[in-house]
A and B are shown apart, each in its own frame.
Chain A
Amino acid sequence: MSKIWSVALREYRVNVRSKGFLVGVILMPVFMGGGIGLQALMEKRGDTSIKTVAVIDRTGELFDSLLEAAERRNKSEIFDSKTGKQKEPTYVLVKEEATAEDAAGRRLALSDKVRDGSLFAFVEIEPSVFEHMPGPTSTDAGISRRATKLNAGGDAVSGCDIRYYSNQNTYRDLPEWLHYTIAERVKAARFAKAGLDPNVVWGALAPVSIDRLGLITRAESGEIKEAEEANIASSFLIPFFVLMLMFMLLMVGTQPLIHGVLEEKMQRISEVLLGSMRPFELMMGKLVGHTIVAMTLLAIWGLGGFALLRYNDMTHLIELRLAGWFLFFLTIAVFMYGSLFLAAGSCCNDIKETQSLIMPVMFPMIIPMMMIPLLIRDPSGQIATFFSLFPLTAPMIMTMRLAMEVPVPWWQAPVALVSCVLMTMLCVWAAGRVFRVGLLMQGKPPKLADIMKWAIRG
């Protein structure tokens, strides 16, 4: 036992003093703070570029009013109301003659202009925009059908009223503005044609508002507290932050193990160590040491985070219950992934070989990161539930679910914990056997089949 401690302490000292740990300490706050700061900065700076759009108006009626709308927008709507500084881009519309011949050739020519940067996009407005008149039966279906088509942006030549071409379709503001502005003009025309008073219609179509709220709670004093507006912090930021925190802790806590083992193997230290202790004790010492490394990192960030929350008077965001689960899952995950990294490291002879083995072990840690959107949208769906109970992904996903507002059924967290513990025992056991054989193995790296054989036969 005391030998396990000696190894654990050495691992701890070496790793806490390593550059990787320092980088880890600094990286997470930079990631989180920097990400938020950058976003704020972008918001402030805004995009003040000039976006030029060529318009082919086949109706012959819309361009002038579009141009007028664009000029009005450029004059008054793109500035910050308080500071008066420009925060949105200027839209410049250029008219393209709407001749019918060689449509494809013109599209190509305009596309080339977009490619070389002299245009941001070009748009074609078909006469059909005025054709669809509201009838007694067709209204909703017709509009939604066309809306879907436009949003999907798909079918380029047939069927659509407006076609927007750009190589930056991730930039949504411009096509949305065009869509909205054209639609306004078209609707006005339709009303006029149908003999309706636009003011009456607009009044009738005034939007109905909706507020998205959290749930009613009972305060400690006993009184019933009004629901707060669903805030982005508790529904998205906190779970996301918890997941990132777990990921970073596991990266800093487990990944160095593979390099540590490799160093011992390359410098032939393993043999000295194995002359003094059993392979399993050596492995345990390393895992314990790295668990403490992860805990240290958590403590550093935790203190910093607590100070920050305290300063902003937001300490109520910390949930003790969640913190407890977090520690449980963190410890187990370090042992689970750590033992796999150790087994992988013991099978390698040089850094190059570790590269190919790091990936498969990292994979279960990366899956949850890729699942973030799904987890946020449907935190208690079948897929989220499955992966939060599946032992290799449970430590990250279950903790994230526990951090969300949607309650996790009471039995799920304990089940996830038990499945993790069982899986960890299996990993540690199998890794221990691979570790024992791999450590003294030199020369050709073993094949996966060999590794499996070691794990099973010992």
Chain B
Amino acid sequence: MSEAVVIDDVTKTFGSTTAVSALSLAVPRGSVYGFIGPNGSGKSTTLRMIMRIFHPDRGRSSVLGADATGAAASDRVGYLPEERGLYRKMKVYDLLKFYAELKSKRVTNAEIDRWLNRIDLAGVGPKPVEAMSKGMAQKVQFLTTVLHEPELLILDEPFSGLDPVNMEVLKDAILEQRKRGATIIFSTHDMDVAEKMCDFIFMIFKGKKVLDGTLASIQDRYGRDTIRVRVEGNGIAFDQLPGVERVNDFGQLQELRMTPGGDAQAVLAALVARSRVSHFEIAKPTLHDIFVRIAGPAAETAAGASAAGEVKHE
């Protein structure tokens, strides 16, 4: 069994809304799998189905080889929900012990202290949860998912709301789990993090799968159609460039997307004619750009059709 999670043609509806539609997915063991997609597109629902918190209306899934009908695998899975869930009045020691017991594992205060040290939280053990800052609580919440050394980690937006320092700490802790051999599935809105951390990226939009593969394979599908330029002067220079369908102006840097078959040299020539170019780079689109292309306002209008079309490309 080389797959940690297999989802096969799964559909989940709530009342009249379809949260997830005919979704299939295979997560190889030992990989880091990133879930991206706009808010409300079905990420959390999919993760909850993997956790057996929701049961799909249709389709089959298996987690760590265990069939969907039982909760047998739950002790081998660690789960960090999108919205944090800690008992505010409980002491960190008691809380962590309780959560570990729910995974059929007993831990001592000394073990907990070792874990707390690793995530820069030494000494908070005897304190109640409500005495901690949001970032600290989030790290404690992360500990609840790894104390029992699970084979599969499911993290729903683990980095949201963390400052850069805490984010580093958490990122290292997650990668440490990967070194141990755990499979990690996490969702994020930070495309930069997804690009850097994930072996595979999976995008879901309006309940349907629109991207699934390695970053390179996804970028290859869009070709080298992106030009990054830096020019001296102001943005007026970018109007009506030949072969450019969209300009994304970051202020200091501009990203130009070429029309299919557009000629980068023609663009450069046109730019040089208008202004002094200090940087010109032909590149693959970033994940951010791909995300916006799929889910941005322009795509929104033709969403149904394009989403279906994208799946066919797979």
Mark contacts of A266-280 with chain B using CB atoms, 8 A cut-off: 1 yes-contact digit, 0 otherwise. 011111111111100
A8 → chain B closest CB, angstroms? 11
Using A275-B53, A277-B102 as known contacts, say yes or no to A269 and B71 having CB atoms under 8 A apart: no
Q: List chain B residues, Cβ under 8 A from A3.
A: 101-102, 104
Using A267-B88, A270-B85 as known contacts, say yes or no to A275 and B51 having CB atoms under 8 A apart: yes
- In chain B, positions 69-114 with a C-beta closer than 8 Å to chain A are 71, 74-75, 77, 79, 81, 83-90, 98-99, 101-104
Q: List chain B residues, Cβ under 8 A from A275.
A: 51-53, 74, 77, 79, 81
B144 at the interface (CB under 8 A from A): yes
Interchain CB contact under 8 A, A267 and B85: yes
Q: List chain B residues, Cβ under 8 A from A6.
A: 98, 101-102
- In chain A, positions 1-54 with a C-beta closer than 8 Å to chain B are 2-3, 6-7, 10, 14
What interface size band does chain B fall in?
20 to 34
Q: List chain B residues, Cβ under 8 A from A174.
A: none
CA distance A278 to B53 in the complex (A): 8
**Residue with the greatest number of chain B CB neighbours at <10 A, chosen from A272, A274, A277:** A272
Contacting A271 at CB < 8 Å: which of B53, B71, B77, B101?
A: B53
Interchain CB contact under 8 A, B101 and A272: no
Interchain CB contact under 8 A, A272 and B74: no
Q: Which A residue sits closest to B129, measured CB to CB?
A: A267
Q: List chain B residues, Cβ under 8 A from A71.
A: none
Interchain CB contact under 8 A, B85 and A268: yes
Interchain CB contact under 8 A, B87 and A2: no
A440 at the interface (CB under 8 A from B): yes
Q: Which A residue sits closest to B50, measured CB to CB?
A: A275
CA distance A273 to B79 in the complex (A): 10
Contacting B99 at CB < 8 Å: which of A272, A278, A440?
A: A272
Q: List chain B residues, Cβ under 8 A from A88.
A: none
Using A272-B79, A277-B71 as known contacts, say yes or no to A440 and B85 having CB atoms under 8 A apart: no
Q: List chain B residues, Cβ under 8 A from A263.
A: 87-88
A345 → chain B closest CB, angstroms? 15
- In chain A, positions 278-337 with a C-beta closer than 8 Å to chain B are 278
CA distance A46 to B144 in the complex (A): 65
CA distance A272 to B51 in the complex (A): 10
Q: List chain B residues, Cβ under 8 A from A269.
A: 85-87
CA distance A215 to B74 in the complex (A): 64
What interface size band does chain A fall in?
20 to 34
**Residue with the greatest number of chain A CB neighbours at <10 A, chosen from B48, B84, B85:** B85
- In chain B, positions 150-168 with a C-beta closer than 8 Å to chain A are none
B244 → chain A closest CB, angstroms? 44
Contacting B85 at CB < 8 Å: which of A7, A10, A14, A271?
A: A271
B64 → chain A closest CB, angstroms? 14
Interchain CB contact under 8 A, A273 and B89: no
CA distance A77 to B99 in the complex (A): 73
A256 → chain B closest CB, angstroms? 13
Total A-B contacts with CB atoms under 8 angstroms apart: 65
A18 → chain B closest CB, angstroms? 9
Q: List chain B residues, Cβ under 8 A from A14.
A: 87, 89-90
Q: Which B residue sits closest to A267, measured CB to CB?
A: B85
Using A263-B87, A268-B84 as known contacts, say yes or no to A274 and B102 having CB atoms under 8 A apart: no
B17 → chain A closest CB, angstroms? 13
CA distance A261 to B101 in the complex (A): 20
A161 at the interface (CB under 8 A from B): no
B100 → chain A closest CB, angstroms? 9
CA distance A270 to B104 in the complex (A): 18
Interchain CB contact under 8 A, B102 and A276: yes
Interchain CB contact under 8 A, A276 and B103: yes
A126 at the interface (CB under 8 A from B): no
Interchain CB contact under 8 A, A272 and B144: yes
Q: List chain A residues, Cβ under 8 A from B144.
A: 272
B22 → chain A closest CB, angstroms? 23
CA distance A142 to B74 in the complex (A): 85
CA distance A6 to B74 in the complex (A): 16
- In chain B, positions 136-184 with a C-beta closer than 8 Å to chain A are 144
Q: Which B residue sits closest to A272, measured CB to CB?
A: B85
CA distance A121 to B303 in the complex (A): 85
A264 at the interface (CB under 8 A from B): yes
Q: List chain A residues, Cβ under 8 A from B101.
A: 2-3, 6
A442 → chain B closest CB, angstroms? 9
- In chain B, positions 44-60 with a C-beta closer than 8 Å to chain A are 48, 51-54
CA distance A267 to B71 in the complex (A): 24
CA distance A422 to B90 in the complex (A): 36
Q: Which B residue sits closest to A279, measured CB to CB?
A: B53
Q: List chain B residues, Cβ under 8 A from A264.
A: 85, 87
Interchain CB contact under 8 A, A2 and B104: yes
Q: List chain A residues, Cβ under 8 A from B85.
A: 264, 267-273
A347 → chain B closest CB, angstroms? 16
CA distance A276 to B81 in the complex (A): 12
CA distance A267 to B85 in the complex (A): 5
CA distance A270 to B81 in the complex (A): 10
Interchain CB contact under 8 A, B81 and A268: yes
A180 → chain B closest CB, angstroms? 64
Q: Which B residue sits closest to A282, measured CB to CB?
A: B102
CA distance A319 to B73 in the complex (A): 50
CA distance A275 to B154 in the complex (A): 10
Interchain CB contact under 8 A, A267 and B86: yes
Interchain CB contact under 8 A, B88 and A272: no
Q: List chain A residues, Cβ under 8 A from B98.
A: 6, 10
Q: Which B residue sits closest to A275, measured CB to CB?
A: B79
CA distance A7 to B102 in the complex (A): 8
CA distance A275 to B102 in the complex (A): 9
CA distance A3 to B99 in the complex (A): 10
CA distance A267 to B130 in the complex (A): 12
Q: Which A residue sits closest to B79, measured CB to CB?
A: A275
Interchain CB contact under 8 A, A278 and B102: no
Interchain CB contact under 8 A, B103 and A267: no
Q: List chain A residues, Cβ under 8 A from B75.
A: 276
Mark contacts of B117-143 with chain A using CB atoms, 8 A cut-off: 1 yes-contact digit, 0 otherwise. 000000000000000000000000000
Interchain CB contact under 8 A, B53 and A274: yes
CA distance A106 to B132 in the complex (A): 75
CA distance A268 to B104 in the complex (A): 21
Interchain CB contact under 8 A, B51 and A267: no
A416 → chain B closest CB, angstroms? 37
CA distance A267 to B52 in the complex (A): 20
The 9 A-B pairs with the shortest beta carbon distances in the complex, nearest first, are: A269-B85, A275-B79, A276-B102, A268-B83, A6-B101, A268-B85, A271-B81, A272-B85, A275-B51
20 sample A-B contacts, Cβ–Cβ < 8 Å, listed by A number: A2-B101, A2-B104, A3-B102, A14-B87, A14-B89, A263-B87, A267-B84, A267-B85, A267-B87, A268-B83, A270-B85, A271-B81, A272-B79, A272-B85, A275-B51, A275-B52, A275-B81, A276-B74, A276-B75, A276-B102
